[in-house]
């Protein structure tokens, strides 16, 4: 098993009422992930909703959206294509909606609400990848446009594939390679101001290799869950080799 993830560290109510978890994801032809092993992506600890790629004991080149262990949607994962996603989670009603687009297109509701056991303590969303097969190969995943909001969903996309104002944020490159020794991360945090506009911000993570003596990562998040002018938010990165 191989995993690299960001974990939210916030006092905001990201596990109450109805909220939208936004992210964009992509891989390139360089160090492309193998479709012959299962990848669990951007999941909660209980896996009540998540993205998946690949198949144990087979081959599946499609990106899937899962709820309660069942695929609800899928599309081919082509190198270079950005997939923009939002989970519309209603923690009170126990349902999840799925919003999706590619490139610069605005998000559209694709599926849901689907009944789910929406259990979260507000600190168990894993932004990143857990790969079940540890075959020694290196894979690169890119993430951008990561934020959580309440109220009406923001459908415009601000990511490397989007058309938001200003320069596009740099994607987070999540690189993983198997090793027999453990790698202890050196997490860092940032403290951005929360904005009611819920403009997404980017995350940046260092690539990991067996020769590295330490790893460093920093992330910023933006949230519309609070109307206060300032709020402290940070993420902690984990690099765990099992």
Predicted local distance difference test score (pLDDT) of residue 162: 57
What's 127's domain CATH number? Answer: 2.60.120.1160
E-state strands within the chain: 2-9, 18-26, 39-44, 49-53, 62-67, 70-76, 83-90, 95-102, 108-115, 125-131, 139-150, 172-176, 185-187, 203-205, 215-219, 234-241
pLDDT, mean over the chain? 74
CA 38, CA 31: separation in Å to the nearest integer? 16
The whole-number pLDDT of residue 216 equals 28
CB atoms inside a 10 Å sphere around CB 210 = 13
127 pLDDT band, cuts 50/70/90, is very high
- Please compute the mean of the pLDDT values over residues 22-29 and round it to a whole number: 94
> Residue ranges of the alpha helices (H) in 78-230?
none
Q: How does pLDDT run across 226-237, given as a tens digit for each residue?
A: 322 222 333 333
- Give the confidence band of 46 by pLDDT, cuts at 50, 70, 90: very high
> Model-level pTM?
0.71
Q: Are strands 185-187 and 139-150 parallel, antiparallel or unpaired?
A: unpaired
**Domain total for the chain?**
1
Strands 95-102 and 108-115: antiparallel
Spell out where 121-187 has E strands: 125-131, 139-150, 172-176, 185-187
134 pLDDT band, cuts 50/70/90, is: confident
Is the torsion defined by CA of 220, 226, 232, 237 positive or negative?
Answer: negative
Furthest C-alpha separation in the chain:
51
Return the sign of the alpha-carbon dihedral for residues 42, 48, 52, 54.
positive
Query: For residue 47, what are its two tokens?
Result: 């896996």
> Looking at the predicted structure, is the pLDDT value of residue 238 above 50?
no
Instruction: Give the whole-angstrom CA distance, residue 200 versus residue 57.
Output: 37
Q: What residues pair up with 22 in beta bridges, in sequence order?
A: 86, 147
Q: Which residue range(s) make up the domain with 132?
A: 2-241
Is the pLDDT higher at 174 or at 92?
A: 92
């Amino acid at each position: 098993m191989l995993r690299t993830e960001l974990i939210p560290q916030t006092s905001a109510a990201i596990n109450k009422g109805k909220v939208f978890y936004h992210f964009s994801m992509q891989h390139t032809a360089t160090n492309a992930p193998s479709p012959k092993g299962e990848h669990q992506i951007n999941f909660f600890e209980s896996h009540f909703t998540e993205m998946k790629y690949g198949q144990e004991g087979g081959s599946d080149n499609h990106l899937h959206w899962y709820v309660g262990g069942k695929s609800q949607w899928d599309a081919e994962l082509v190198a270079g294509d950005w997939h923009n996603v939002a989970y519309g989670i209603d923690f009170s009603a126990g349902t999840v909606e799925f919003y999706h687009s590619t490139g610069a297109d605005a998000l559209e509701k694709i599926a849901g609400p689907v009944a789910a056991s929406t259990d979260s303590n507000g600190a168990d969303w894993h932004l990143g990848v857990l790969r079940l097969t540890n075959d020694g190969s290196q894979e690169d995943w890119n993430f951008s446009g990561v934020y959580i909001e309440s109220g009406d969903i923001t459908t415009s996309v601000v990511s490397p594939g989007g058309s938001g104002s200003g320069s596009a944020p740099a994607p987070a490159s999540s690189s993983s390679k198997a090793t027999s020794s453990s790698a202890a991360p050196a997490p860092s945090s940032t403290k951005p101001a929360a904005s009611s506009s819920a403009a997404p911000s980017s995350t940046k993570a260092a690539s990991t290799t067996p020769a590295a003596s330490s790893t460093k990562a920093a992330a910023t998040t933006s949230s519309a869950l609070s109307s206060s002018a300032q709020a402290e938010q940070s993420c902690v990165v984990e690099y765990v080799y099992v």
